[in-house]
Structure 1
């Protein structure tokens, strides 16, 4: 289907779904919860993969995300506690050189993964994104395992982030009961996520803009502090690289930082998940994918170098505070050490906003993953209920209600409870990236086997097949490092509880893979390249899209085009 005909179809559908002026706003509100108008599709003689391809390509999700929404989500969507707070423990474990090396290498394989994902998402902007690509280009059991683990990962994140947000309030007032703020933040996220994808996009646009401005301001401030321009006029230079030294805990420390770095980039793949709800995915997705490079180069790597220079790796505050506490943030410590009085409190507010942003995104990712699984026949059909506003209603309600577990903050068992909840899908992001890389390789193999040219695509991964192989191998090495450190942790004795909390994600994903094989009695290991469906749901680029792909402008002008 061409983009023009697709827009005409959407226009026709919106006319059918409109309500007469005589209908009251209350009645219109009630009618919005009715099921979306279903297309009559005949499934005779179709196998599971063919049905999944058709359903996810014709999803009734709302097309409410603009280009600016996707670009801002790509730039700042995964900037959260992983960067603002988690880098503190990473600095303590690996030292300044260790953290810079680990983040630099991790950034390269995240970037190559996103290049392959951008190629798939631009060609097939379908509901569910990457887990559908696993079903479509590899085989359904992989899609089932990846989809359910990704769903569980973000299902757990909402209550975790709500608790983190309530704890961050203690930076200003230790006497307030955190349960009060859990309730306030839960109500806020519930309202934002239930009003529709347009308001989700607007909220994330504002959240991400605040984070981007804050990180940009920190980069400028950090350079000034390093040069001795702070209130205490101390020239930092490379002082902390010499003492306590560039590395901490040797090679094992660097390996542990690789694991933390990989988790800090979790959520980068959300661009693919939101492609199905973009009003113009052919243009919005490539621009968002290209923006990933600038986020990695500036907002991640730039800040990592600065905090590694401004904060000593042996500072006890990096390890002693709670992971949700702003006092453990190396950003805050750098500002405090520089003698700046007001900014630490402001940056704590940014951390609070980041936590709420991750909570908001977690409901979105969780609900869209469950909806996609239902459309593929991998979850009960009623869990994929979409109303006339294009909302996956049941999935949204379920994800939000699960967030009420956050009231465990009033219990003494909160830390242990969340540790085990996170362990269930602890390696989910790594497995998701691995599946993306394999799906991209299988897609390229199918294109070659079926004599199709890459010239048909509106966006082609600049790193090609080599980039996907590189990313897959690095992801595998991160899993190996996780097992090694679970068996032999740094500075403490190995325990069975700690081991399983670190590696439980692997047996869970293997169990879901085997479960699907037994359930569907599908013993094939891979879909042959000649049988891969390259047509259903494919976005046929118009001449303007192809012109943008073959942009003759100089590199610096194309960069400005992506940023602005």
Structure 2
């Protein structure tokens, strides 16, 4: 629901960072400043997480090497893909995305084939593991413990379920953005259903929540493939070779994710500088259009992965996960508030939503539901530190630090610039639209003939998939 809401803004106003810019237009410039920096910090912090994750996953095969070697290789590759030419980034992401897509589809087929008996043991286990209790206890026992288990799973899912909102980040660089973004946001719900829901369902089918290998790997803080439910399932079924293939593609996926975060973080810092929210130095580009100084700042964030050179790498990974989760949830929370401001402005100014190039579903009720649950999640994600005997200052800071950072950013800009809340009837919903519409007309005129020749069933299927 939130993704389609942001899609409405991105398609209406396809800029480099649509929802962040709309915060300044529809709510308050202080929120634009806060949401913009929070988004940058979130993306930048994901980079050391992915670098650390890649290294720990390599430990599935061997660990008798210095992690600094793996870190250095990944950071150098990120620099090569992002600092020299955008073409390298695009080409690398294209092929790595194909690998990720093949893995996701392959695991869905693997689940179906093995559950009906297509495995070395000829065991048609079907939905056998669904007979286990759907809710496991966590922290306490009984019904309360099961509810706390649900909260713990919710917090983990908040970290994992990210990505669709990044569609809006490419709106400003897409060719004919209103058409391509509209198509992308219309189909994203089906991709989420297939890959997120289908993937979660597959894990529940393949492995019991009480599987000894899985529990042991999680208790030991393993971050390599031994903690992957798919790898555990393959090992339980006695299939040789496949765990190595799965692990290899997962490493490629993690590297690809870090590569994407590097690109988005550098562009977000560039956008902040362009809007006057960061030093102008970061808006300078080289002859190839790459914001070099912004990218160098992102390299510094990548260096945070060197913290893993300490004794307990799993602790470092958990800290970064907590910071990223906090920033990500706040990012979603700000998105909700921004869309509400946009919706109110559209309604107050008498703009017919039916005439918008793309409309999200069930508004405004769906965005109110999102706002309610996301802001609850923001405050309960680290609730365990408040339980008797569970207090750890480090856990509290890494669970809730981003709330204080965002609050500080908002108050700082509010006091510095003395900004005011936008009145719905006075919100600027037209600046830049004329340029967008003119560009759209030129593209449609240029590609009219090509589009009619490219409207085959195969072309439509490929467009939906990719």
TM-score, structure 2 as length reference: 0.87
Task: Mark the CA change 1:514 to 1:420 in structure 2 (over 3 Å): closer, same or farther.
Answer: farther
What's the counterpart of residue 416 of structure 2?
A: 519
Offset, 1:423: 4.6
Distance 1:217 1:418 in 2: 28
Let me know the Cα RMSD of the aligned residues.
2.7
Deviation at 1:251, TM superposition (A): 0.9
Report the equivalent of 2:464. 562
Residue 17 of structure 2 corresponds to 128
- State which of 117, 134, 146 in structure 1 corresponds to 2:35: 146
What is aligned with 1:231?
120
Other structure's SS at 1:504 match: helix
Give the corresponding residue for 1:117.
6
Gaps of 5+ in 2: 138-145, 449-454
Mapped to 1, the partners of 2:372 and 2:18 lie a distance apart of 22
Residue 323 and residue 513 in structure 1: after superposition, are their counterparts in 2 closer, same or farther (change >3 A)?
Answer: farther
Moved more, 255-264 or 437-446: 437-446
Task: Report matched runs for 1:129-278 at 5 Å.
Answer: 129-243=18-132, 245-249=133-137, 250-278=146-174
> Partners in 2 of 1:177 and 1:478 — Cα distance?
38
How far is 1:146 from its partner? 1.4
Structure 1 partner of 2:188 = 292
Q: Is the 8 A contact 1:423 1:500 kept in 2?
A: no
Q: Which residue of 2 aligns with 1:508?
A: 405
Cα distance in structure 1, aligned partners of 2:267 and 2:35: 14
Deviation at 1:414, TM superposition (A): 4.8
- CA deviations 1:122-161 (Å, max 9, x no partner) are 1111122322121221111111111112211222222222
Tell me the CA shift for residue 363 of structure 1. Answer: 0.9
> Residue in 1 aligned with 2:176?
280
Distance in structure 1 (CA, Å) of the matches to 2:154 and 2:147:
11
Structure 1: gaps of 5 or more residues: 1-111
CA distance in 2, matches of 1:170, 1:360: 21
Taking the aligned partners of 2:30 and 2:286, their CA distance within structure 1 comes to 29
Asked whether 1:531 is paired with 2:420, we answer no
Offset of 1:346 from its aligned partner? 0.3
1:390-409 matches, cutoff 5 A: 390-409=289-308
Alignment CA distance shift 1:387-1:136 (3 Å): farther
Name the SS for the 2:364 alignment partner. helix
Q: Distance in 2 between matches of 1:486 and 1:241?
A: 31
Deviation of residue 242 (structure 1)?
Answer: 2.3
Provide the C-alpha distance between the structure 1 equivalents of 2:385 and 2:190, rounded to a whole number of angstroms. Answer: 33
Does the 8 Å CA contact 2:221/2:314 hold for their aligned counterparts? no
Aligned to 1:465: 364
Find the residue that maps to 1:171 and give its secondary structure.
coil
Q: In 2, distance between residues paired with 1:192 and 1:265?
A: 26
SS in 2 for 1:234: coil
Deviation at 1:221, TM superposition (A): 0.8
Distance 1:544 1:458 in 2: 16
TM-score scaled by length of structure 1: 0.73
> Per the alignment, do residues 396 and 487 of structure 1 end up closer, same or farther by CA in structure 2, a change over 3 Å counting?
same
Taking a change above 3 Å as real, the CA distance of residues 560 and 331 of structure 1, as seen in their structure-2 partners, is: same
Preserved contact between residue 141 and residue 513 of structure 1 (Cα < 8 Å): yes
